[in-house]
Amino acid sequence: MGFRIIANDQDVRICVFMVGLPARGKSFISQKIVRYLSWLSIKVKCFNVGSFRRQLGITQPDAEFFNFANQEYVNIRRQSVINTMESMFQWFEDENGTVAILDGTSITCERRTWLVEECEKHNIQPMFLESWSDNEDLIMENVKEINTKSPDYAHLDVASATRDFMKKIEYYEKVYETFDSEKDGHLTYVKMVNVSDEVIINKIETYLQSRIVFYVMNIRIKPRCIWLSRHGESIYNVEQKIGGDSILSERGLAYARKLKDMIEENAPGETLTVWTSTLKRTQETAQFLSFKKLQWKALDELDAGVCDGMTYEEIEAKYPEDFKARDADKYEYRYRGGESYRDVVIRLEPVIMELERQENILIITHQAVLRCIYAYFMNVPQEESPWMAIPLHTLMKLEPKAYGTKVTALKANIPAVSTYKEKGTSQVGENTKESQLHNILRRDSEVALSR
């Protein structure tokens, strides 16, 4: 429950200042922190200095604009930071925010001293997150990526954009002052060297700061796939009962066999690790896969407490108030003696952390748990995630990219019952089944980043 306490603590207000040369992954890291903390219900927002500069009318500047010898341009850039900070302070006040991320370069000591002073005036804890890299290949990859995504370079061909971007980096290098334990010992900072080859941590003082540090330490950027599947159809699914620890139906077993073929077809030659819950239906679904397997208690289905083993109709008849309350706020509703979606998210946090560290993983789990994992990767808001339709006998492939996650859903074409219950009814209906796949894919498959 630690995160709830933090999120409700009026006194904790943190600003994370990104530090580093262009193309060091600052926006990438900022967006990931936003996604992670908002998934944990912590009020967080990223403020991108480049966007504020564009609001001042400087939309597609060439490298000269970043020449620190040109005072006129330096002044405009300083104004962009001032405007960004004002907007950020306003957000803390108006929205009662907890964590703001200032996505700029903040590469000089003078600038950082000013940022700290401003934060002190507003009773906000400043924390710096530096991304330092001398890996030429990685930097060139990043430059390519940024040039295709950033509105600043939309008007240039790749070669000209790259040339201009490299010149911009050169200008920044001339004034760059990296974090150093002697001169910066008094500041709260994390310095990431070549992603997470080395991480230097200084003066982390609060629990929330330490969570952010721990999270960024686990970030990997190597391309990989995360495969997600619910278990095959179970006997309880057929009987429309929730919870329990039943075995698979014949059709569920057929899916388990098919899953092996689907993985071989879609991930030929790949080594995966398979994560299941401790319940029989996920293990039976994994039984034909010849990869290393790991059971997580944290992947067990949402605990329905006294309602475990009942159908939705029985719950509505026996606990009508509870049934209504759950429909009214499905994320927060906690079954008597059981769990809410919020509880599931909190217990899944170590799974997500480990998932960030790992390469290719196949997770075989349950409806509610899968919704929570999917919500993390796809940035699905809390009001929506418990209502997402994730059908049985469907394999999902998630590919985390620089600015979002690409999702592909593969249907096994083995019939299964629908376990989807719409709001306001106790029926789980075949008629909703067709729209289910549609429902998850309706979302933009790559979560857009505003830069």
Among ligand ATP, ligand F6P, none, what binds residue 302 when CB lies within 5 to 8 Å by partner kind? ligand F6P
Among ligand ATP, ligand F6P, none, what binds residue 418 when CB lies within 5 to 8 Å by partner kind? none
Among ligand ATP, ligand F6P, none, what binds residue 28 when CB lies within 5 to 8 Å by partner kind? ligand ATP
Which C-beta is closer to ligand ATP: that of 195 or that of 262?
A: 195
Minimal distance in Å, beta carbon 430 to ligand F6P? Answer: 14
Among ligand ATP, ligand F6P, none, what binds residue 47 when CB lies within 5 to 8 Å by partner kind? none
Could you tell me the two tokens for 186? 């008094």
Rounded Cα distance, 209 and 16, in Å: 9
**In this chain, which of 63, 138, 409, 437 binds ligand ATP, going by CB under 6 A?**
138
Check: CB of residue 39 under 8 Å from CB of residue 348.
no
- Asked whether residue 269 is marked as a ligand-binding residue, the answer is no
Select which of 164, 300, 301, 339 is catalytic.
301
**In this chain, which of 38, 125, 142, 311 binds ligand ATP, going by CB under 6 A?**
142
Minimal distance in Å, beta carbon 28 to ligand ATP? Answer: 4
Which C-beta is closer to ligand F6P: that of 301 or that of 316?
A: 301
- Asked whether residue 96 is marked as a ligand-binding residue, the answer is no
Mark whether 444 is an active-site residue: no
Check: CB of residue 439 under 8 Å from CB of residue 388.
yes
Among ligand ATP, ligand F6P, none, what binds residue 195 when CB lies within 5 to 8 Å by partner kind? ligand ATP
Mark whether 393 is an active-site residue: no
Which C-beta is closer to ligand ATP: that of 166 or that of 402?
A: 402
- The reply to whether 145 sits near ligand ATP by the rule CB under 6 A is yes
Minimal distance in Å, beta carbon 172 to ligand ATP? Answer: 9
Select which of 118, 130, 184, 231 is catalytic.
231
- Asked whether residue 4 is marked as a ligand-binding residue, the answer is no
Q: Interface mask (CB under 6 A) for ligand ATP, residues 77-116, using x and -? A: ----------------------------x-----------
- Asked whether residue 186 is marked as a ligand-binding residue, the answer is no
Which C-beta is closer to ligand F6P: that of 118 or that of 301?
A: 301
Task: Give the strand pairing for 14-19 and 125-132.
Answer: parallel
Which C-beta is closer to ligand F6P: that of 38 or that of 240?
A: 240
Among ligand F6P, ligand ATP, none, what binds residue 270 when CB lies within 5 to 8 Å by partner kind? none
Looking at the annotation, which residues are catalytic?
Answer: 103, 231, 301
- Residues at the interface with ligand ATP (CB under 6 A): 20, 22-29, 105, 131, 133, 138, 142, 145-146, 192, 195, 221, 402
List residues forming the annotated binding site for substrate: 230-237, 281
